[in-house]
Chains A and B, each alone.
Chain A
Amino acid sequence: MRDARGDVKRPIGLRLWLSGGWLILLVLAALLAPWIAPQDPLAQDLFTSRLPPFWEAGAEPGYWLGSDSLGRDVLSRIIHGARLALIVALVAGTLTCVIGTALGLIAGYYRGWPDRIISRFVDIWMAFPPVLFAILLIAVLGTGLTSIIIAIVVIDWTRFARVIRAEAMTQGAMDYVASAQVAGRKRMGTMLTEILPNVLPTIIALLTLEMGIAVIVEAILSFVNLSISTDSPTWGGMISEGRTSVHQAWWVLVFPLITLFLTVLSFSQLGEGLKDRFDPVLR
């Protein structure tokens, strides 16, 4: 019988390369934004308003992806917008992951009353409609980067807690955990050195997925004008502005939209690819 593993391996590699490549490009763009952006993302100039992208008639050099109705360069705004998107993805994603994983591990491995308390919390949390609750939190906390991050962590930690709890329960019932206990390991030590490494593939897959979700949530909040101040460019804000002028200048809407889509796709594909790579059955 032919070995099926060879069939699985190839597309994973391609997927990882493409998604990883796009994300690295994005990180570089965010880090080097002031140096590589062709224009000042905030500079308004009515003489250069609604310039089309470079391949269309009437385009100006230096405005590769055109300009919006206030004459601001679309490409520069996308590059600067990558900063907020990636900060939110990294910080909110990591915090959500750490909090959710810790609670999930404790609930799934210790069981007993910690599990009952955490699980009841998760059940109650499930009743909160996510996007609405994020908006409600922002309304209470006020807009700004910290509020966005808090809102994302608060609405999404249960995603980690639920999955990791179930994984920790399965792992906790296995023989190697019992051996560690017999060998005189403390429970805390067993949890961190035995269980945690074994649920790591799941954590990584969830983390990249969560980063994609964070990018979308931030974009939605910017879109409804509840993100950070309107001075700094955001993809969601660009989409919201592009929407109103889409009849005259489609590029103001389309380019941030493509960027957002590719970013979210890359995060989710990176997660899937890494999960397959770490999966001992497929490795």
Chain B
Amino acid sequence: MLSYILKRLAIAIPTLLVLIVISFLLMHSAPGGPFTSERELPPQVLANLNAKYGLDDPLWKQIGSYVWGIVSDFDFGPSFVYKDRSVNEIIAQGFPITLTYGLLSFAVAVIVGVGLGVAAAVRHNSLLDYVAVGVSIGAQVLPNFVMAPILVLVFTLWLGWLPGGGWQGPEYWIMPVIALSTSFMASIARITRSSMLEVLTSNHIRTARAKGLPERRVILRHALKPAMLPVISYLGPAFVAMITGSVVVDIYFSTGGIGKAFVDSALNRDYAVMMGVTILVGALTIFFNLVVDILYGWIDPKIRY
């Protein structure tokens, strides 16, 4: 097991480096430097600016110092647009918010999705099953981009129950979390249901029932664990989507997360911020996929390292 984890880490670290280098090269090749503006800057000023931000160094040196800054101090450098703010400050402001509703949405999607899927599978072909399947087919194509405006219309404008935007307390969390989790909850419910149905017809479940175990125990102890395998391999992409969904959610609900900062920096050509956020989310993705892989190996008895 330990050697497997080390082997995966050995792949994860170069992947992260490639991610950083590709983002850097992309940003470097972008037309118009960060100091291009309508007002033509005097060449001397431009040269000084470039020197200050290290933009006149050769490319390999720029990449090297950028990577070293991240590795040694977790420092993403200064913002190119806001002169007095570093990328770290901008990330530190938005990221906790994004992480809060991202993780909450993830928890809701997994708990409700698995619960619904198991219930539908256990009562196969009942009314509950049909309702669950119908709801999840519809909800699966309700990405946050469609879900968010619907929620605002219903709960803020028509019913007046929830605040339409802001980030001040738990009542502000509800709509972002529902918007982000709905489509993933539906997918997880569908995957759980079909995998649970398959497991319930397998031999070890028949054995468990034959030896007289209570149904509850059969489901929770013997069926649920193997049925979770396909769900687990879906969790990696789901988690990433919760974090990147921030782009839509922040604008819709004015939650002030990292997505708003990212879009603003794209519109302002603040390449340093874009790079920092992309790399941070990329690193999270790599880390989460690693965790999912290890979890998978831990649950599936057929995989032994």
Contact = CB atoms under 8 A, between A and B. Distances in A.
Contacts of B143: 216, 264
B157 A220 contact: no
A243 B252 contact: yes
A34 to B, nearest CB: 28
Interface stretch (B11-19, B36-44, B66-74): B11-19
Contacts of B262: 132, 135
B149 interface: yes
Interface string A53-88: 000000000000000000000000000000000000
A160 to B, nearest CB: 15
B145 A216 contact: yes
Contact of B142 (A124, A250, A253, A261): A261
Nearest to B251: A224
B231 interface: no
A131 to B, nearest CB: 4
B278 A128 contact: yes
A265 B152 CA distance: 21
A127 B251 contact: no
Given A216-B143, A261-B142, A127 B286 contact: yes
A242 B149 CA distance: 10
B146 A139 contact: no
Contacts of A127: 15-16, 19, 282-283, 285-286, 289
Interface string B238-266: 00110111011001100000000011001
A135 B31 contact: no
A17 interface: no
Given A127-B286, A140-B29, A261-B146, A135 B266 contact: yes
A239 B252 CA distance: 11
Interface string A236-280: 000100110011001001100100110011001100000000000
B157 A246 contact: yes
B149 A124 contact: no
A138 B285 contact: no
Contact of B248 (A223, A250, A257): A223
A129 B286 CA distance: 10
Interface residues of B, number: 48
A123 interface: yes
Contacts of B26: 136-137, 140
A243 B149 contact: yes
A253 B244 contact: no
A225 B279 CA distance: 23
Contacts of A135: 247, 262-263, 266, 274
A247 B278 contact: no
Interface residues of A, number: 40
Contact of B244 (A130, A138, A242, A265): A130
B141 A128 contact: no
B277 interface: yes
Given A136-B274, A250-B153, A264 B247 contact: no
A268 B15 CA distance: 32
Nearest to B18: A124
Contacts of B278: 128-129, 132-133, 136
B46 interface: no
Contacts of B2: none
A227 to B, nearest CB: 12
A13 B233 CA distance: 32
Interface string A137-158: 1111010000000000000000
B62 interface: no
Contacts of A142: 31
Interface string B25-38: 01101110000000
Contacts of A131: 244-245, 247
A133 B241 CA distance: 12
Interface in B143-186: 143, 145-146, 149-150, 152-153, 157
B146 A257 contact: yes
Contacts of B15: 123-124, 127
B24 to A, nearest CB: 11
B140 interface: yes
Contacts of B248: 220, 223
B140 A268 contact: yes
A104 interface: no
B164 to A, nearest CB: 9
B50 interface: no
A268 B271 CA distance: 35
The 8 closest A-B pairs by CB, nearest first: A139-B266, A140-B30, A129-B281, A131-B244, A265-B141, A224-B263, A127-B282, A129-B244
Interface of A: 123-124, 126-133, 135-140, 142, 212, 216, 219-220, 223-226, 239, 242-243, 246-247, 250, 253-254, 257, 260-261, 264-265, 268-269
29 contacts: A124-B19, A127-B286, A128-B19, A128-B282, A129-B243, A129-B285, A130-B240, A130-B241, A130-B244, A131-B245, A132-B262, A132-B278, A132-B281, A135-B266, A135-B274, A136-B26, A136-B27, A140-B27, A224-B247, A224-B266, A242-B149, A243-B149, A243-B152, A246-B153, A246-B157, A250-B157, A260-B146, A264-B141, A265-B141
